[in-house]
Chains A and B, each alone.
Chain A
Amino acid sequence: MKISLNNKNIEVDPGKSLLEICRENNINIPTLCYQEGLKPGGRCRVCLVEVDGKLVTSCTEKPKENSKIITNSEKVLKARKMNIELIMAGHITTCSIDKDAHDLCGMLEEIGLTGIRFEPIRKYKEDLGSSVVRNDNKCINCGRCIRTCAEIQAVYAIDFASRGYNEHVAPYCEHNLADVACIKCGQCILHCPVGAIHEREHLHEVMEVLKNKKKHVIVQTAPSIRAALGEEFGLEPGTLVTGKMVAALRKCGFDKVFDVNLGADMTIMEEASEFIKRFENGGPFPMITTCCPGWILMMEHFYPDLIKNNNMSTCKSPHEMLGMLTKSYYAKKANIDPKDIIVVSIMPCTAKKFESTRPELETGVDYVLTTREAAKLIRFNKIDFKNIKDENFDPALGIATGAGAIFGATGGVMEAALRTAYEFGNQKTLEKVEFNEIRGMDGIKEGTVKVKGKTIKFAVAHGGANNRKLLENKDKYHFIEMMACPGGCIGGGGQPPHISKDILKKRIKAIYKEESNMEFKKSHENPIVRKIYKEYLDHPLSEKAEKFLHTKYTKRSQF
């Protein structure tokens, strides 16, 4: 199909939207409500272009034969500017303009908006959740959070309420987000163009604790942080910053820096043993992984039958396991009163914040920071992150295997568990450790492996909508890994924003690069794991292990 774009005749694909066509031709069109992978909404009306003299939104418009499209006429620029002015009139008063953080404030200069002729009118209360905080005064009603929650996550926790200028985003029946069936995955945060949704910050509490000389403050970082933290400091997506991260955190004043990958190894020891136990007893199947607190909430809200039927593994998530070990095993070894130990987890996740408040976990973790908060902390301490010299994790609980490292990517938990379960079950060495069929960005992945002559079917899903889809045929499988966020933890709700599929792929690549650098590839080969079991826990699923490393679940309301 031929069209004229800014007086240049070009050949285009009729299935693409004008916005996509413009971007392919290096024409920048500002947008607020458009998001790759979601149905276009046509709500913000900032992406206007002129088609044969008429103003249309380029995100929703498909090209027509021989149409004349102009993207930079005075009419277009004026209309865009007016819409931004109308939007800003509602948003500005509560926004501390941070050009890099928000799409909206970042585009003001380009649009050329200098003054706003309207008074602010929005008056909403802040919705303080345990993980996610919403401020409707900053909100510009683009609906990306709502579409993300519905189309990608299939949770439907929020929607628009009221109409006209009173329209605003609200959870079910205008309750607080904390009181409704929200899985706290934080995907809405990643896609908000104005910063109206953010995590419940633990940053200031952590900074207070760091000042307290009496406390022994330990930080532990999740597998996926090292593949994404660099982005906050202007490094290319997919840059591994393990050494810099450890060095910077130490400089921030943490007494010890531990690696959650070790917790991941512990999780695998317990989970693989649990699976083999079920395998020998003939069920119940499928057994479903429990590392992801977003998925756990989804299950408790929408699929409580999985608790009743004992489909869920009872393992705590890796950072909770490591937190417990820090406060018991490590405290004893280092001769510190557990009461004086503060454990701070740096997680790619907002649901972990909620998880750390669960009463049944008798939590080992005191505070959870997201990747973004960690970056803020490093910036507050004026650390030159790009040029800091690499350092290593503290050895006491800081040595991990490649199996623990790949927890950050979708399919990683399953792959790590299979490596150990195979050897536990078959009592022989697994030669090829890679399970390529469950790597990559496909929504649902599956495969089989032989244990003691029997075929084990396993499956992996990531993203709430895919989780729901997989659950429809769950009985086909023996072992299922679920992750609430697309891409697994590397795409978590606490990660640096502006996520695209491309960036996720780069982060995953970095995770597997980290794995290839590791000496050991299987969790049960980790010398520290062996030492912990020898000195403290006896063996996987022992009475002590059950007490410290396992948990239970609660049925929650669907609404």
Chain B
Amino acid sequence: MQILEKTELKALKKARNLGPKKTISLLNKKGLTGRGGASFPTGKKWEFALKQKSKEKYVICNADEGEPGTFKDKFIMQKNPETLIEGILIASETIGAKQAYIYLRGEYENLKSKLEKTITKVIRKAKTKVNIEIILGAGAYVCGEETAIIKSIEGFRGQPYLKPPYPPVEGLYGKPTVINNVETLTAAAHAILLDNWNSLLRLFCISGDVTKPGVYELPAGIKLSEAMKLAKPKNPVKSVYFGCFGGCMPYKDIELTHDNICGEDCVSGSCTMIVVDNTRSIVDLAYVISKFFAYESCGKCTPCREGSVRILLLIKKIRQGKATAQDLNLLQELGEHIGQTSLCGLGQSCTNHILTSLKHFRKDFEKELR
């Protein structure tokens, strides 16, 4: 696997020799984009922060991998932490930050001590002035959102705030801050060092009703059927969920690219696929996912706070066989409303799964009406 290749500080050395500007243009040329979900060009992000004139700058490694069905960052931190830390050092030295943070998901506490040891080791070898500190999250899904991470590290409630200003301009403690995902930072080290680096390779997390769940490194654009051949589902596949917030797609042999997935009203996010076979009811899935979002809403804005719990209660009613067609319409209306009027990405996408499953599997819901 490309992502597991050890760069052994050669990438850092190369970046030091190139200097910040050339490092960034190299990344731009290689086409590295963010792997957290938004696919923003990494070089550009670093360039924004580099341009800011500030004595203090920060790099944050987003290791708050909270999306259900996603476990690729954990995989990297377990198998190749050295390269990740090298990537953090490259980012810090490139933009001129002396302090970097790894915002580690609360549930990954068991990774902390090993990571800390690796940090000490790598920093000693690299002879760098950059300091890396691990900050443990407290178990909030929304803290994977970059502005919520900033608030959380600053010691406030982990709630998102409105952009702009974007973090590379004004981020942690009001200073320019680069926030990158674990996979992105690791890939940055590879992109700089390896001549034959393949920008198309992604880590796919496949789970659900398959016999071989796990992390697969596959090129973006691979056909869904090819991926399924590897993961080996037990029964015929009914639909695929692109994480909880990505929405559900009835099984269709499409090429897995960002645009194709969006074409199916879904969000590709971080290449997460939860496979659902034909033994399951979509209503049950809607219930579980709604429960997740009602619990994980941060509570800041009305539609997400009040709306997500109303969706949960409506689906509960449907499962109990007490709901009417009116309730189903209300569910649809709420789903659209929350998506349109919420403040952050969580709220805006927390009803994707409802809207897509109502579109494709409305019959599953109608069956359970009164």
A contacts, CB < 8 Å to B: 41-46, 48, 55, 57, 60, 79, 82-83, 86-87, 89-90, 117-119, 121, 140-141, 159-160, 162-167
Contacts and interface: CB of A to CB of B under 8 A. Distances in A.
6 tightest A-B CB contacts, nearest first: A167-B299, A86-B306, A165-B309, A164-B297, A163-B299, A82-B337
Contacts of A42: 162, 301, 343
A87 B157 contact: no
A84 to B, nearest CB: 9
A86 B300 contact: no
Given A48-B341, A82-B333, A83-B341, A166 B299 contact: yes
Interface string B303-328: 10111111001000000000000000
26 contacts: A42-B301, A42-B343, A43-B300, A43-B302, A57-B343, A79-B341, A82-B333, A83-B303, A83-B341, A86-B307, A117-B330, A118-B310, A118-B313, A119-B313, A121-B313, A141-B305, A160-B157, A160-B299, A163-B140, A163-B295, A163-B299, A164-B294, A165-B294, A165-B297, A165-B299, A167-B305
B298 A164 contact: yes
A427 to B, nearest CB: 55
A87 B303 CA distance: 9
Contact of A121 (B157, B307, B309, B337): B309
A44 B302 CA distance: 5
Nearest to A44: B302
B296 A55 contact: no
Contacts of B313: 118-119, 121
B306 A45 contact: no
B120 interface: no
Contacts of A87: 302, 306
Interface residues of B, number: 29
Contacts of B334: 82
Decide if the interface of chain B is mainly helix, strand, loop or mixed: helix
B260 interface: no
B340 interface: yes
B303 A45 contact: yes
Nearest to B307: A86
B296 A164 contact: yes
A42 B296 CA distance: 19
Contacts of B299: 141, 160, 162-167
Interface in B116-130: none
A172 to B, nearest CB: 14
Contacts of B157: 159-160
A367 B333 CA distance: 52
Contact of A90 (B294, B306, B333, B342): B306
Contacts of B305: 141, 164-165, 167
Nearest to B300: A43
Given A82-B333, A164-B295, 18 more contacts: A41-B300, A42-B301, A44-B301, A57-B343, A83-B302, A86-B303, A86-B307, A119-B313, A121-B309, A141-B302, A162-B299, A163-B142, A163-B298, A165-B297, A165-B299, A165-B306, A165-B308, A167-B300
